[in-house]
Amino acid sequence: MKLDFTNVNLDNLSSYEDKALSAFDTLMNKDGAGNDFLGWIERPVDYDKEEFERIKKAAEKINKNSDVLISIGIGGSYLGIKAVDVACDSYFNSNRKVKLIYAGNQISGEYLSDLLDYLKDKDYSLNVISKSGTTTEPAIAFRFLKDAIEEKYGKEEAKKRIFATTDKAKGALKELADAEGYETFVVPDDIGGRFSVISAVGLLPLAVAGIDLDEFMAGFKEGMDEYTQRSFENPAIKYAAIRNMLNEAGKDIEVLVNYEAKLKYIAEWWKQLFAESEGKDGKGIFPVSVNNTTDLHSVGQMIQEGKRNLFETVLEIENPNKDLTIKEEKENLDGLNYLAGKTMSFVNKQAMEGTTIAHVKGEVANIRIKLDKISAKNIAKLFYFFEIAVGVSGYMLGVNPFNQPGVEEYKSQMFKLLGKPGYEN
């Protein structure tokens, strides 16, 4: 993984060095706000090896008896999993034995009804992921799916097909799992949801999907080795400093850009990571994303000539896993013969370069993150890079990067409207 800051004016960056390194020290010394949730920093080497092996065995079991695994979770219990899942699978011709399907990430009765219909002639298992077991969206989905799987297989067989990833000692889901005899895995106390894909939260469904967990963890380890170095040349520290420099210059929106549709859910994970970590106390850089070249034909105009309060971070894949070469046609009715002999990835890259030139000309600073290729290992390293960066950036902003108090307000208002006991007006 390489970072390119060529298209950012760095004349003022040196004035942010001391602040960035101080924020990094706060993160690594674990003496800042939210320090109870920093278990992810050492997790690439300090994890439960016994649970790791149990995860692999559970994945093998699911692959033997199921066509589908329903991953039931929301936020950090959903986005990291789907990011890796979508990025590492084929668009159309998946060779996976078990299909991952997601539930409990919204409250659509139509979605869940269609899912229940779809599952009627499938063999399936459930992985319900919730630290408490009472989060509204996954709890509703699990009610329906638990009833359906018990009706299909009977309670004794169903309990062998339900896996609970939850608190190690307490909570509604833990109590239910113990009472029913579900195999359980742990949501760590010291790792917040948006950082939790490195734990059983992400590892079980990804193992079922065929992700090599040893390679995945190796990617996090490479990130740990590289991005925990105390140096202003550390790309994670520099990225955090540049973000804060641009923010103080009035650039309060960051656009994560990709030119490969498989990376869409990487951006969705990234948006949660930065929005929940930085968006508090009236502060924060608003994270949005675009999928190019598709979105050049929708929001490209706004990026090019709209309000100058944004900057871009581009994910570039240097070596695609597959490609096509454009052929010459005799009639040339579409006028594309000038591209004959060129690969689609070459054309896509020139679109990226041309867009960068145009946007920089339009006063949009442009950061480039280059990945050799899409792989679970590279994505894990990218995740770790962003996690270190958001910790440094959040402390530079003067907020606690590891809580999300504002998330509770919408819940309170929703519960009042629904008449939940204890939330009456």
- Domain layout of the chain by residue ranges: 2-31+223-397, 49-211
Which among 369, 397, 377, 371 has a CA at the least distance from the CA of 277?
397
Structure tokens at 288: 């949005």
**Contact between 345 and 184 (Cβ < 8 Å):** no
Reported as a single tens digit per residue, the pLDDT across 349-403 is: 999 999 999 999 999 999 999 999 999 999 999 999 999 999 999 999 999 999 9
Quote the Cα angle for 240-406-418, to 5°. 150
Residue 73 and residue 81: Cα distance in Å, rounded?
Answer: 10
| Cα maximum dimension of the chain | 74
The 3-state secondary structure of the chain, one letter per residue:
CEEEEEECCCCCHHHHHHHHHHHHHHHHHCCCCCHHHECCCCCCCCCCHHHHHHHHHHHHHHHHHCCEEEEECCHHHCHHHHHHHHHHCCCCCCCCCCEEEEECCCCCHHHHHHHHHHHCCCCEEEEEECCCCCCHHHHHHHHHHHHHHHHHHCHHHHHHCEEEEECCCCCHHHHHHHHHCCEEEECCCCECHHHHHHCHHHHHHHHHCCCCHHHHHHHHHHHHHHHCCCCCCCHHHHHHHHHHHHHHCCCCEEEEEECCHHHHHHHHHHHHHHHHHHCCCCCCCEEEEEECCHHHHCCHHHHHHCCCCEEEEEEEECCCCCCCECCCCCCCCCCCHHHCCCEHHHHHHHHHHHHHHHHHHCCCCEEEEEECCCCHHHHHHHHHHHHHHHHHHHHHHCCCCCCCCCHHHHHHHHHHHHCCCCCCC
**Contact between 101 and 115 (Cβ < 8 Å):** yes
What is the pLDDT at residue 418? 87
What is the pLDDT at residue 424? 74
Quote the Cα angle for 112-114-120, to 5°. 105
Reported as a single tens digit per residue, the pLDDT across 145-192 is: 999 999 999 999 999 999 999 999 999 999 999 999 999 999 999 999
| Regions of the chain with pLDDT less than 50 | none
* Catalytic residue list: 276, 411
Same fold, 2-31+223-397 and 49-211: yes
Q: Could you name the CATH architecture of 49-211?
A: 3-Layer(aba) Sandwich (3.40)
What is the pLDDT at residue 425? 65
What is the pLDDT at residue 18? 98
CA 254, 255, 256, 262 torsion-angle sign:
positive
Cis peptide before 293 (omega within 30 of 0): yes
269: exposed, middle or buried (Cβ count in 10 Å: 0-12, 13-18, 19+) = buried
**Contact between 320 and 260 (Cβ < 8 Å):** yes
Structure tokens at 327: 């052929």
Structure tokens at 259: 């030119």
**Contact between 73 and 138 (Cβ < 8 Å):** yes
CB contact set of 407 (below 8 Å; sequence gap of 6+) = 276
Residue type, 330: K
CB contact set of 312 (below 8 Å; sequence gap of 6+) = 254, 255, 256, 257, 303, 359, 364, 365, 366, 367
Q: Could you name the CATH architecture of 2-31+223-397?
A: 3-Layer(aba) Sandwich (3.40)
Scanning the structure block, which residue is given the tokens 């992985």? 127
Residue 368 and residue 258: Cα distance in Å, rounded?
Answer: 10
Residue 280 and residue 277: Cα distance in Å, rounded?
Answer: 8
**Contact between 209 and 203 (Cβ < 8 Å):** no
Residue 264 and residue 82: Cα distance in Å, rounded?
Answer: 10
Structure tokens at 120: 């009627």
